[in-house]
Structures are given as structure tokens and as C-alpha cells.
């Protein structure tokens, strides 16, 4: 979002100084300099991890088809047209319309590929994030100014567009009225795993258990994990050269084929090993791990079904 936010703030500063006739930027420069200075530790850290992200021109085959573009953007385009037809030539509404149109053109010409989304999804991140930002900012700011216009036609167009866009409320109502909401109000992510009673008992035990590193599912128990989500780590921590080997060892461990499994756990100071309902069908792997780690880890069973183990290995 930084390029778009920088354009919005920068354009506003130029507009504000042009309107007021005051071009003294000493206070602005002082504030910006102090802000950058305070942010430098964070910026240095994140920039070292995101060198693979870059701006690039959108390839000809990746441009948005015209019909689909209109389906999404017609409210914004109608409001911009209303500004052209009904607003004063030099006005704050004209300024915002020009700015947001320029940003929309920018989003159609420039891409920010991250190497993960390719082919048909090459514009996934910019469209998902830039378009929502531009649409929301453009539609609501321009609409508000048109609704406050002294031209009746401008107010009518703005009101009609708002009513038509608000028809989406019907779909939203149908979703809330007719869909099941078994996870409503549960935002910590645990509810999906608690659908299985044995899983729920195990995770609830972990929440109250003494602090310690967990192999798998530690985040849901408010405890540190040996490794988080490998996919996300690969996005934001690509310099972790040990990550592929560590993930491979974890997969081998859960497959019951890792040599010296017990040492692997102690080397990473693992206190709890989760064997969830996801792994419960692999009886042979469970037996292999049980035999490999039994000297230092005791098994805690949470499943009422002996042939489908769900539980924890806890360091003795």
C-alpha cells in the first residue's frame, strides 16, 4: 500500500499548500525526517526480507478484460463523470477524482509480483489490495463531496450510485440469515480444530500446560512453535536457509521415518509433540515415533478410540 498512500499524502500536501498559499515546508520536512528516523530499525529489518518484491509493468495478457473492469468499477467511474459534468473545474472533488483515477491507471499498468502468484494470478496481490483501497477511498470521498454539492444533478447521481452499490446489503443479509455460523465470534483460529472432541481436549490442555516449545499447533495453545507456517515463512523470511531442511525433518518425523527422532526433539528443546486428529490415521508412524522417543517423552492420550490416537508426547 505504500506507493498509493505516499501518492495520496503527497498530493494532499501539494493541494493544501496551493490552496493556502503557504509553501513553507520546514515543519513538514522536520516531521517526515523524525518519522523516518524512528522507523529506520523496522524499515531496515523488513527491507532485508522483501528484496524479492519489485514493481514491474503489467504484461499485455495480464490486463483486466474491459467487461469485467466495468463490472467492478462502474460506481467509481460514474461518480468521476459526475464530477466532470457538475463540479466546478477547480475543486476538491476534482482533485480527488483526478488522484484516484491516476491511481487506478497506475494499478492497471504497474504490478508488484512477489514470485508466489504466477500465470493467471500474477496480479493477485496488487488487485486484491490496491483495488479495494482505491475503490473505497475514491467512491466514498467523491460521493460525499457530490452529495454536498449545490448542484441538484450532482446530488441525485451520487444518491443513485450509493443506493445501487448498497444493494450488496441484500447478499450480506442472506449470508448472515441463511448460513450456519458455527465459528461466529471465535477469532483465535482454534474452533476449526476443536470440532473434534479429542483435538479440543488436547489443545485446551496445552493452553494451561507449563510453558514450552511445541512441535506443531503451538500457536493455538499460546506457545512457541518449532516452526510456524512454512509457506508464510518462505514469503517473509527467505533468508532462512535452514528452513527447507527443518521442514523436511518435521515431515520425516511425522512419517515415522526420521532417524534419531528423539535427538531431533531435544536439539530443538521441544517439550510437547502434537499428534492431532489429522495424523491419527497413521498408526504405523505413531508406533514408530512411540518406540523412538519413549525414553524421554511420555504419551498422553486424549482419544477415546484406541485405534485412532490423538494426544501429546510430553518431555519427562
Indicate whether 1 pLDDT > 90: no
Indicate whether 283 pLDDT > 80: yes
Backbone angles phi, psi at 258, to 5 degrees: -75, 125
Give percent of the chain with pLDDT exceeding 90: 56
- The per-residue pLDDT of the chain, averaged, comes to 88
Backbone angles phi, psi at 299, to 5 degrees: -95, 135
Can you tell me the distance from the alpha carbon of 23 to that of 234, in angstroms, rounded to the nearest whole number?
46
Handedness of CA 87, 90, 93, 97 (dihedral sign): positive
Q: What is the mean pLDDT of residues 210-225?
A: 83
CA of 83: how far to CAs of 140, 154, 161, 166, 274, in Å? 13, 8, 13, 21, 60
Q: What is the mean pLDDT of residues 227-249?
A: 78
Indicate whether 290 pLDDT > 90: yes
The residue to which cell 535427538 is assigned: 263
Q: What is the mean pLDDT of residues 249-266?
A: 93
Q: What is the mean pLDDT of residues 14-22?
A: 83
Amino acid at each position: 500500500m505504500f506507493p498509493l498512500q505516499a501518492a495520496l499524502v503527497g498530493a494532499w500536501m501539494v493541494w493544501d499548500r496551493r490552496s493556502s498559499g503557504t509553501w513553507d515546508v520546514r515543519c513538514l520536512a522536520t516531521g517526515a525526517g523524525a518519522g523516518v528516523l524512528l522507523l529506520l530499525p523496522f524499515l531496515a529489518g523488513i527491507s532485508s526480507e522483501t528484496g524479492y518484491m519489485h514493481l514491474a509493468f503489467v504484461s499485455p495478457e495480464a490486463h483486466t478484460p474491459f467487461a469485467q473492469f466495468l463490472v467492478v468499477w462502474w460506481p467509481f467511474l460514474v461518480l468521476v463523470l459526475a464530477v466532470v459534468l457538475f463540479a466546478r473545474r477547480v475543486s476538491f472533488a476534482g482533485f480527488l477524482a483526478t488522484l484516484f483515477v491516476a491511481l487506478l491507471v497506475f494499478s492497471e499498468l504497474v504490478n508488484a509480483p512477489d514470485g508466489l502468484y504466477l500465470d493467471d494470478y500474477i496480479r493477485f496481490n496488487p488487485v486484491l489490495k490496491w483495488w479495494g483501497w482505491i475503490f473505497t477511498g475514491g467512491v466514498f470521498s467523491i460521493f460525499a463531496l457530490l452529495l454536498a454539492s449545490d448542484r441538484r444533478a450532482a446530488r441525485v447521481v451520487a444518491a443513485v450510485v450509493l443506493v445501487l452499490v448498497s444493494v450488496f446489503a441484500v447478499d450480506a443479509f442472506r449470508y448472515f440469515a441463511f448460513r450456519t455460523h458455527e465459528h461466529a465470534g471465535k477469532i483465535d483460529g482454534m474452533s476449526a480444530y476443536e470440532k473434534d472432541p479429542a483435538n479440543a481436549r488436547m489443545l485446551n490442555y496445552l493452553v494451561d500446560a507449563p510453558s514450552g516449545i511445541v512441535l506443531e499447533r503451538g500457536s493455538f495453545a499460546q506457545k512457541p512453535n518449532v516452526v510456524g507456517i512454512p509457506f508464510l515463512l518462505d514469503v517473509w523470511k527467505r533468508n532462512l536457509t535452514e528452513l527447507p531442511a527443518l521442514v523436511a525433518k518435521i515431515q520425516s518425523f511425522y512419517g515415522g521415518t526420521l532417524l534419531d527422532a528423539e535427538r531431533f526433539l531435544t536439539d530443538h528443546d521441544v517439550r510437547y509433540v502434537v499428534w492431532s486428529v489429522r495424523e491419527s490415521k497413521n498408526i504405523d508412524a505413531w508406533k514408530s515415533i512411540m518406540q523412538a522417543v519413549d525414553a524421554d517423552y511420555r504419551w498422553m492420550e486424549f482419544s477415546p478410540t484406541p485405534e485412532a490416537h490423538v494426544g501429546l508426547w510430553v518431555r519427562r
